[in-house]
Amino acid sequence: MRWQLVLLGTVGLLALAVGCPGEDDDDSAGPGDDDDAPLGMILANDGVTYAGAASIDVTPDVVETWTDHNGDGTFDGCLDDPDATGEYCSEPFDDVDGDGWFDAIFIGGYGPMRPANGVHDPITVRAVVLSHDGEYLALVGMDLVGLAHKRIHVARDRLVADGFDGDRLLASSSHNH
């Protein structure tokens, strides 16, 4: 069996791994032939527990960085002034794309205006899907601070539109910075 990773959500950060029979699977009749199963999962009533897992790196690329002159970790520049020439603009940023705007990747927590200057550790989304005798459950864990119900519900609703029972999704977000 091959596993397919489906990206979901308004920011593309929620991932769900689902079992999906592939072209390399045996074409004989068997548990993978359940055409009514959501997202190609195996939902056979054969007493066998099926499991699949996946992990995806969702680490953003930090392209535009800034100079933290006072070392406080807070951007004290102006988002529209790369050279920090304004009255309250004391910290410049690298305007890589030349649009005059700081296209920062902001770090959650510890107050506002904390753009990243790099990546310390990768950010991942991990998922496990279990099915047994027609029942199934998807468990998803994300390294994302502040991912609220609003965004999880959008992803869940996209799954429901594809036949997945939304009550069978358990999503958890860690509190990393």
E strands within 9-165?
Answer: 14-20, 49-57, 124-132, 135-142
Task: Check residues 175 and 17 and name the one with the higher pLDDT.
Answer: 175
The C-alpha atoms of residue 21 and residue 28 are separated, in whole angstroms, by: 12
pLDDT value of residue 8: 36
Q: Is residue 55 predicted with pLDDT exceeding 60?
A: yes
In contact, 102 and 115? CB cutoff 8 Å: yes
In contact, 75 and 115? CB cutoff 8 Å: yes
Q: Is 156 helix (H, G, I), strand (E, B) or coil?
A: helix
pLDDT value of residue 34: 60
Let me know if 155 is exposed, middle or buried by CB neighbors in 10 A (0-12, 13-18, 19+): buried
pLDDT value of residue 38: 85
For 82-141, the pLDDT digits (tens) are 999 878 899 999 999 999 999 999 987 777 889 999 998 899 999 999 999 999 999 999
pTM confidence score: 0.69
